[in-house]
Amino acid sequence: MSRPDAPSAETTPPTVTYSFDRPTPTNPRGDDVPLTRDHIRAAAEAYLARHPCEREGLAGLLAVLDGPGDPSSRATLPGHVTCSAVVIDHGRRVLHIGHKASGKLLTPGGHPEEDDRTLLAAALREVSEETGIRSGHLCLTPQFLGEPLDIDVHDIDANPAKGEPRHQHFDFRFAFYLTAEQPPPLELQDEEVCGAQWLSFADVRSPTLRAKLLESGLDGRPEPVNASVLIHDGQGRYLLHLRDQRDGIWEPGVFALLGGGREMGDLSLEATLRRELAEEVPGLEPADLTPYAVEEATSVDGLAVPIQVYAGRWSGDPDTVDLQEGVLLRWFTPDVLDRLCLSPGTGDLVRRHSAQHPAVGSPPDGVRLLRHEAPDGTELHIVGVHLYLQDEHGRILLGLRHPDSAYAGNTWHFLAGHCEREEVISGLVREAKEEAGLIIEPSAVELVHLVHLVDSPGARPRIQLVFRARSWLGTPEIREPDRCVEWRWWKPKDLPAEVVPYTRLAIDGILAGRLYSAMGW
């Protein structure tokens, strides 16, 4: 199979790392499914489609798959399935470990276990247990994706101590690249492993694996295996896809980019993207597709997943598209992204592209773009409202944000929100009721601090307004458990370590009598 098209240095910025998950060829559905006979058969048939001449040699495996026993169980005789990880470094060397029981140098591997969802997941677990190399150190190869590189049949001697007769292992071997230039330090499993070596392809001990590697074209260099597209209309709008809210869907109910994982028949990553678009949104064909950025995502099995993000132009009506997957498509401008539940990293990509590609021309009819209302050179700001409450003991109210929150998960923060099209004190009163069930009269509110904030280079700046309520009705309640999991009163001198940085800055300023702070400039 040909290599995917590599992005050029002129068009692709440096790699950006995000921590989000996206279904990959490892498990396209993204859900938790036990290892099944059908899954093993599909992996075997995919391998035999590459190597039809080996069907006779794998007759024993096929017989086990047609038999009554669990193909992945040790108890299934005269043979059963095992899994191995062929870990390849940037120098085209393969990791081997000394196997104490046999005295041989082998690639890491072993028997599937009950919790293994796929054969590939079993191989990843084995390499982690035996060598300490975690899934996040590895990525799939574009040549093989989640299909086995080799299926080896070897005899296992009888083991009277375990009551095991002589039998066969049908070993599914999966290829992985190391993501880093240098292999991570190994943590060898003392019970089963004695030493480790990195061997060149020509020195690999298994004859069948050695032959496959020498003819594979594997070069040890990670490449993107997924593709997504940042669709814009050239006038400041970006098209986002709302994912289904149901079981079996990865990251349900969030807005994300269109795209998906490479399949074996795709000749390039652009071909992957166009196939995915044809499957998800037939008729939507963005023009001027250009490699824009590379994301580093994480698969359902914890693998590193390089994703090639393309940029493309389209200006159609998303309601006229025959959407086959997800809930809806909508146009959004960067200034409203903070009000959406986004797939992590999506907001940063959109804002960066928007800053690099200013809108041209007039907005479409009925679309109101704030950037066109501002004088040239004006930098639009996001306005946040924050509630500063102190009880009769001088303690300050903070909320612990949900661990999965898109912003500041597991961190303490003011009761806060973004100002919508409303007067800021009205926004504060609304947020207090929505988030904590507190009733505040506008006349009881005073501005006590302002933080002028830039979260990161290229991000839209923010004006964070902090208001004190001199009185209120009610006791703080958890009204939005997906955002806040606990309200607690803190003495100023005993604030927790995990406080949003600009929240701590604002508290320090209020206690010192200052009205203004700046951060990130």
From 3.40.50.300, 3.90.1720.10, 3.90.79.10, 1.10.3210.10, which CATH number describes the 382-519 domain? 3.90.79.10
pLDDT at 6 over 60: no
* Ranges for all domains in the chain classified under CATH 3.90.79.10: 26-214, 229-372, 382-519
Q: pLDDT-based confidence at 358, cuts 50/70/90?
A: confident
Tens digits of residue pLDDT in 415-461: 999 887 788 999 999 999 999 999 999 999 999 999 999 877 667 78
* CATH number of this structure's domain 229-372: 3.90.79.10
C-beta of residue 74 within 8 angstroms of C-beta of residue 111: yes
Give the Cα separation of 15 and 454 in Å (integer).
Answer: 22
Q: Which residue has the higher pLDDT, 199 or 423?
A: 199
Q: pLDDT-based confidence at 465, cuts 50/70/90?
A: very high
CATH architecture, domain defined by 26-214: Alpha-Beta Complex (3.90)
- In sequence order, the 6+-apart residues with CB closer than 8 A to the CB of 517 are 449, 450, 451, 452, 502, 505, 506, 509
- In sequence order, the 6+-apart residues with CB closer than 8 A to the CB of 251 are 20, 21, 22, 243, 343
pLDDT of residue 103: 82
pLDDT at 250 over 80: no
Q: What is the mean pLDDT of residues 355-384?
A: 64
Q: What is the mean pLDDT of residues 199-225?
A: 94
Q: What is the mean pLDDT of residues 307-331?
A: 90
pLDDT of residue 301: 82
Q: What is the mean pLDDT of residues 496-513?
A: 94
Q: What is the mean pLDDT of residues 311-315?
A: 92
Which DSSP letter does residue 52 get? G
C-beta of residue 212 within 8 angstroms of C-beta of residue 191: no
pLDDT at 369 over 80: no
C-beta of residue 482 within 8 angstroms of C-beta of residue 402: yes
How many percent of the chain have pLDDT more than 70?
88
pLDDT of residue 376: 65
**Omega before residue 78 within 30° of 0, cis:** yes
Angle at which helix 37-50 crosses helix 59-66, to 10 degrees, equals 150
Tens digits of residue pLDDT in 114-135: 889 899 999 999 999 999 999 9
pLDDT of residue 368: 46
**Burial (Cβ within 10 Å: 0-12, 13-18, ≥19) of residue 340:** middle
Indicate the average pLDDT of the chain.
Answer: 86
- Is 374 in a helix, a strand, or coil? coil
pLDDT of residue 24: 38
Specify whether the backbone of 64 is left (phi greater than 0), alpha (psi in -120 to 50) or beta.
alpha
Q: What is the mean pLDDT of residues 42-58?
A: 96
First-to-last C-alpha distance (Å) of the chain: 48
Tens digits of residue pLDDT in 401-417: 998 877 788 999 999 99
Tens digits of residue pLDDT in 21-36: 333 333 433 344 468 9
pLDDT of residue 160: 87
Single pTM value for the model: 0.62
Tens digits of residue pLDDT in 76-129: 999 999 999 999 999 999 999 998 878 889 999 999 998 898 999 999 999 999
pLDDT of residue 298: 82
Main-chain phi, psi angles of 190, to 5 degrees: -60, -35
